[in-house]
Structure formats: C-alpha cells, structure tokens
Chains A and B, each alone.
Chain A
Amino acid sequence: MEAVTVPEVERRSDSDALLEVTDLRTRFALRGSFFDRLRGRAAGSVKAVDGVSFSLRRGEVLGVVGESGSGKTTLGRTLLGLAAATGGSIKFEGREITGLSEGGFRPLRRKLQIVFQDPHASLNPAMTIGESVGHPLRIHGAVRTREEAETRVVGALERVGLAPAKQYMVKYPTDLSGGQKQRAVLARAIILGPDILIADEPVSMLDMSVRAKILELMIDLKRELNLTYVYITHDLATAKFFCDRIAIMYLGKIVEIGPAKEIYADPKHPYTISLLRAIPEPDPTRAVPRDLPRGEVPDAVTPPLGCSFHPRCPRAFEVCGWETRDLRTLLEARWTRMPEPEYRAEREIIGSLESLDEPGMSAALEPASGHTSREVLEIIHRLRADAPDDPFWKGVAEVAERGGAVAIRFHDGIEPRDVESGHSQLQCHLYDPEALAAAEAVRGERRSDDGGSPDRGIPN
C-alpha cells in the first residue's frame, strides 16, 4: 500500500485543461424556524459541494458517481452557474467563471450545456419538438432567419436519430416515448455546438431496454462533435462504458478520483468498493450475499466528524472520527434486533439519548432516575460483547463511570486529505501513512494501558 501525499499546488495545475475546478464549494443556507430567527440563532448551511477539485481535458469523459445527497447534481449545476458557487474557482478555457452575473454567464451557456434526468420534465409540453430544440438559437440570437433556424433544427434532430426530422418537429413531447424525448433533449443540448455537455443521470429514468441506445448515441455524439462530458450518475455500471475518469462523491467531497480502468479493476476507497458491490448481477448463480454498508448517506447539514463515511465503513479504525452519534446508532441497532420487553428494560435504564445527538468526542450517558451508572455501564459492556469486532470499538479510547454517569471518550479523529495511490487520488486514512501512524500510536497507548492485551485493531 504505497501512498504519497502531494503538495496541493503542483498537483492540480494542468494548463491544457478545458475546465479546471479548484476547491469548489457550494453551500445552501438553511432557513431555520421563526423562533430561531427571533433568538438570532444561525440556521446553518448545507455543504452540498465541499471543496471539490478536478480538471477536465478536451474530449475527456469524467464520470461523477455517488448516491442521492452526495452533491453530484449540485456540482453539475454549479459548473453551469445554475447554483452559485460560494467558494473556490471554476476556470473554463483559463477564464474564471464563478461569480459571473446571469448576463455575464449567458454567452458561456453556448459552450456549456446540460441534459437532465427526466426528459419529460425537460421539454415544455406546450412547445413542439421543433420549437423546443430551436429555442436556444432564439435565446442566443444564433441565427438570422427562420430558414436558417429550421436547417439547424433539422440537422440536430437527424444527428440524434430523430429522422426524418420534419416528422418530429411538429410533434409535442407527449407524442414521443421516453427514449425519443431524451433524444430531443440531446438535440437541443448540441444545437449551439457546445464544448462541454453535463449529463445528469441521462438514462436513469429510461427502461432497461432503451438505456443502451441512448448511451450509444451519446458516445457517437461525443466522437462526431468532439464533445467533453461530465457524466453524473449513481450507476457505476453505465459509467464503465464511456468514462475515461471516474470521480466518486460522498457528502460533497470527491473521495476517490482516477482513471476508469483503475477504479474498476482496483477500487481503493471502501465506499467505491461498496458502490461496485451493490450493483445487481443478472445471474442467479452468482448472487452471493453482499455485505453492504449499513445505513444511508447521512444528513449533510450535520455531517459526521472526521471522514464522512466512517459510520458506514467496514474498515474504519481509530482515527476516522468516531463520535457520540455513532454510539447512538450502535445502541439503536442493538435495540432494533431485540424483542420489545428487553428493549424497554434497557431503554428505561438510560436517560435521555439527546445528549448523543450533539456531535462530540466524548459522551456522557446518564442513568434515568431510579437507575445507576453501573447499570448503564453494563449495557455498554453487553453492547460491546455482542459485537466486539464492530469498527466502532476501535474508536473508543475510554469507558468509565464518572460523576454518576458513564463517560465515553473517543480517539481524536483526523480529517481525511488527498493522498495518491496508483494513478488515483483518494481521501481515505487507510492509504494515508500519517493517519496509519497516528492509529498505531493510539494502539500503542492502549496496549500499555491494558497491560499488553492482544491487539485487534489493525486495519486491513
């Protein structure tokens, strides 16, 4: 496991890049409740895109892959100026495009186009296909005469396979099937001759039997028109077909980015591995039980401490950012498996769980009135005895009765940083020598505390 960190500056500079994104951030402010505002309390924000950097060369296809809530759609929208960047930079052909006014951005939209997931919602039901596809020409004043516009529309429609074009121009979106609508949307996207096409889940809403057709069309268009794609998807199987590079996003960050071949042949980040494993295989003889990560993408308003993926990660260890909320998750998972009377018995012993909702490196579990901290401690011991190999316990530095409560202290978490491994870059402590050394040091301390008990905490 060779891993080297690289200085921030020299790694990112790529002068041939058509699009250069550096430390891009997009935040959405939360409204908060009326009372919060009365009290002058800030409602906080969602970090939808949280420090994303990549560059895109002309003719390249970059796949941006992640689950709902990973920020991949916001990233696409930010690149197009449809969502305002709150930090960082986007350079298109060397020119900074963040912070441009709507009027300033408009000429750029000839060069940057987007295709959305739902072809039906993307076409105005009151406009004919011809009007919809020709609409960008009018908005941008790209043609002088009606005839010229029509020639361009016919050309675009035929290019996407809607031929004879005259027959489709007069139709309305409802007359078309899903695949045909997506073709029309693609025709509209290419009519201005863009350089970059951002495709946000272009085939996810389509039937299995049509997906391949639209993907094939996109590959043809790319070749014929020398397009550069950002292909946003949750599906690594379709991305495999035409992406040169893959960026895996999780909670606003790119957790792994590298050549597509390497990502598929040798995925490194545990999240990438999970995404690959989750794809259903159309072969009942090979349908082995897949150990999927527990839970779902957490709330981006209050992301987990340390590495965002640590609560779901099967290989998380000491320094990944264990915290109070992980204890609550573990307790709840235990209670979920229990018969109701046993759950009630345990639940009655522990007082409020709300103290665990505040992210922190130490938790104090107070007993409910009429119970003692000893009883709470016993529950924690049982919790550990039930699942001693849960990665959570690697993160626990100390469990002790203190001041009538059970105090649980976690090891200090480290924020993941970019490290390189092979031709990929990733944010994972498993590949960061410093994080591994920090974990080793923590384990050393624990060994001396325990008087040399056997060590279980080796990652990998």
Chain B
Amino acid sequence: MSDVVLDARDLRAWYGTERDPVRAVDGVSFQIHSGETLGLVGESGCGKSTLGRTVLGLLPEGAATSGEIRYLDRNLLAASPKEMRSLRGPDLGLIFQEPMTRLDPLMTIEHHFMETLKAHEPDAPEREKRTRSLEALGAMGIPPTRFKQYPHEFSGGMRQRIMIALALVLNPKCLVADEPTTALDVIVEGQILGILADLRRNFDTALLLITHNLGIVAEACDRVAVMYAGRIVEQGGARDVFAEPAHPYTRALLDSIISLGTTDLRYIPGAPPSLIDPPPACRFHPRCSRAMQVCATKFPIEVSVDEGHVAECWLHGPKDEVPEGGERRLDRAEIAVAEEA
C-alpha cells in the first residue's frame, strides 16, 4: 500500500455556544493514502464539513480541537496559523461547493493562476508558471485559448473545473473537496466525477470527498467513511460498504437514494440529533429500526466486520461487552414529523 498522507486520530472539534459546546466532530479517526479517495458521507448536520475544515485549519475562532492530524511528519492541529497558511495550497488543497463565488470577478483566469503561483512559489520563472497553469487547465478540459478570460465568461461547470485546476496547479498532496458537484447539473456532475476519478489515477493526490450523495461515493471513491452525529460510524472499502453495509445508518442512507433502479420510496425517520446534547449511548438508536436495549445504555465499541471494514454498532458485538438481556429489542416511540430533517 502507498504512503499514508493524512492520519487523523481521535479528532475532536467543538464549537462554543451560550449553552454547552456543539460537539461537531467527536472522536474520529481515519487515514488517507496517497492517490486514494475517501468519501465522507452523512446527512446535513452530522459534522462532515466541520471535519473538512478542521483538516484545513479553517475553523472559526472560538472552536476547540483535540486529537491529532498527522500530515506527513507533522501534526496539523499543533501548527501555528502562519504555518497552516503556508501549507494551504501547496500541501492541502481545497475545493468548495459554489464555484460562482470563489473566483474574483475582476481577475482573469490567468491572473488567478499567476497570483496563486506567485504567493506560494515566488521564485518560479514566469514562463514555467504559465506552462504549469495551462497544463492544469488542460487536464480539466479548459482550452488554453480562454486563459485570458474573466470568470463570468465561463459556465458553472467550467468554473468548477477552473477551481479544481487552481487547486491542482500547486500539486497538493492532499485535497479536500466539500460537495464539489452539489450546485451542478447531472451531466456536468458526471463530467466532474470523471475528472475526480482521473485525478486519483494520474496524480498522487489524497482526496477527501465530502458529499451527502452516496451515488457519488460509489462512482468516485476507493473507501467510504459514514458520519453520524459527529462520529464515523462505519468505514471501509467502497465496494464492501455498498455490498454489505454493517451499520443500520449506512443501510438506511443507501435505501433513501432515489436512483433509476429504485422501486419504492424509503427514508430515514426523524433527523440527525442536536450535537449539543446528542442521545446517550449509540447516537443513532432513536432512529434505528434494529435498536436493542444495549444501544440505549452503552456507547458502541468499534469492531472490525471484515478486512479494513469497521463499524460502531452493537449488532456486530463485541458479544462479551453486551450486558445481560441487552440484545432484546428496544421499544421505541413513533417518530413524528416534528423531528423531521
């Protein structure tokens, strides 16, 4: 296996509020190897974006973090803001959801690229900067003839591709893409997914792809991490997780996808819980169709269900940790629309 680029251990990110803190990321661990794509999925409000921002050091002031994010030989959580600033770009790239708002309307595409390269590689000769910019744009299918145009002259899909090129021109070893296709049409989304798939073949970039759409994960990711209420509740190879989801939440997410092959509409009752005061023990138990007594009383332990495939769910044991009678079915109250997402 190739090198581990990003290694997060027991990562936590809490936001302060007037009341208790929001525990948006609450003890997650994951690794991304070079040339690998990890898909991070879950509903809105499960802490996916906060996790992405924590990796990039972009949390708002007042947020507290603990744990460790190893990037090569350093801990990103211990890095100073200045260090993080110099790492963002050449080491840690980012792609946002809305390409419309991330490019400066008064700057040409050429200017965007030159500015970026000048900031991070002031010594590179002008000629080389241009060649590299055109190469990055070319890889994203943007013709060199349009180098001197302004953002408004491009369509939404092209702008997103320009954003990706702008992130890749610095050859970052790690890239965080937060819902990169959500604002785009289906065909353009497909094109961007194709580009992301090429990315892992042709570059050694480690990609963290954050999305609420499992269909996208299936197409573009090697591995998948499912996030619920601040925890990664299941993690494994994309094929394994899709073929045999271990956690009922993953299963429910898969069932709620509406694709051409869907024959009946299914959804997850209720909504993700408040992260200030999440349910005790397993956080999913109030919505879980297979909840047992133990799920409401004891925090689940991560178990390995298969090689490289782990889940935090009492259905998979460990058996000797389940208290007497804990496997009995949990009686749940009906979930009303009042709790809906």
Binding site for B on A (CB under 8 A): 67-68, 161-163, 167, 177-180, 183, 207-213, 215-216, 234-238, 240-241, 264, 274-285, 287, 289-290, 292-293, 296-297, 332-333, 335-340, 343, 347, 353
Contact = CB atoms under 8 A, between A and B. Distances in A.
16 contacts: A68-B156, A179-B341, A208-B257, A209-B43, A212-B258, A213-B340, A237-B258, A276-B260, A284-B238, A285-B243, A292-B191, A297-B155, A332-B145, A332-B146, A336-B142, A353-B145
B267 A209 contact: yes
A208 B260 contact: no
B340 A179 contact: yes
Contact of A209 (B218, B239, B243, B253): B253
Contacts of B336: 163
B173 to A, nearest CB: 24
B215 interface: yes
Contacts of A208: 43, 212-214, 253, 256-258
A267 to B, nearest CB: 11
Given A177-B340, A279-B259, A283-B242, 10 more contacts: A177-B271, A180-B337, A212-B265, A275-B187, A278-B190, A279-B215, A280-B215, A282-B257, A284-B239, A292-B187
A67 B185 contact: yes
Interface string B253-292: 1101111111001111001000000000000000000000
B194 interface: yes
A335 B131 CA distance: 13
A335 B187 contact: no
Contacts, number: 167
A180 B337 CA distance: 8
Contact of A178 (B215, B253, B341): B341
B141 interface: yes
A46 to B, nearest CB: 15
A207 B218 contact: no
Nearest to B142: A336
A274 B341 contact: no
Contacts of A236: 186, 260
Contacts of A178: 44, 341
Contacts of B158: 296
Nearest to B146: A332
A313 to B, nearest CB: 12
A211 B267 CA distance: 8
Contacts of A179: 271, 340-341
Contacts of B187: 67, 274-275, 278, 292-293, 296
Contacts of A339: 135
A333 B142 CA distance: 8
Contacts of B185: 67-68, 234, 296-297
A292 B190 contact: yes
Contacts of A293: 187
B143 A332 contact: yes
Given A67-B185, A281-B259, A177 B215 contact: no
Contacts of B261: 281
B338 interface: yes
B215 A209 contact: no
A215 B267 CA distance: 11
B219 A209 contact: no
Most chain B CB within 10 A, of A238, A280, A287, A296, is at A280
A167 B338 contact: yes
Contacts of B103: none
A101 B158 CA distance: 41
Given A163-B337, A208-B213, A280 B190 contact: yes
Interface of B: 43-44, 130-131, 134-135, 137-138, 141-146, 155-158, 185-191, 193-194, 212-216, 218-219, 238-239, 242-243, 252-254, 256-262, 265-268, 271, 336-338, 340-341
A333 B130 CA distance: 19
B144 A335 contact: yes
Contacts of A207: 43-44, 212, 341
A238 B267 CA distance: 14
A432 B245 CA distance: 48
A245 B191 CA distance: 28
A285 B189 CA distance: 19
Nearest to B222: A284
Contacts of B135: 339-340
Interchain residue pairs A-B with the least CB separation, the first 7? A280-B215, A332-B143, A212-B265, A67-B185, A212-B267, A278-B186, A278-B190
A281 B258 contact: no
B210 to A, nearest CB: 14
Contacts of A212: 256, 258, 265-267
A251 to B, nearest CB: 13
Contact of B143 (A216, A290, A333): A333
B172 to A, nearest CB: 22
B242 A282 contact: yes
Contact of A183 (B130, B186, B265, B337): B337
Given A180-B337, A332-B145, A210 B138 contact: no
Nearest to A65: B186
A209 B268 CA distance: 6
Given A274-B187, A282-B257, A335-B145, A162 B194 contact: no
Given A180-B340, A237-B259, A280 B143 contact: no
Contact of A287 (B43, B137, B219, B337): B219
Contacts of A238: 258
A386 to B, nearest CB: 15
A284 B240 CA distance: 9
Contacts of A215: 258, 265
Contact of B188 (A235, A279, A280, A296): A296
Contacts of A347: 144-145
A123 B47 CA distance: 27
Most chain B CB within 10 A, of A167, A207, A278, is at A207
Nearest to A344: B144
A335 B147 CA distance: 12
A216 B134 CA distance: 48
Nearest to B269: A213
A293 B238 CA distance: 27
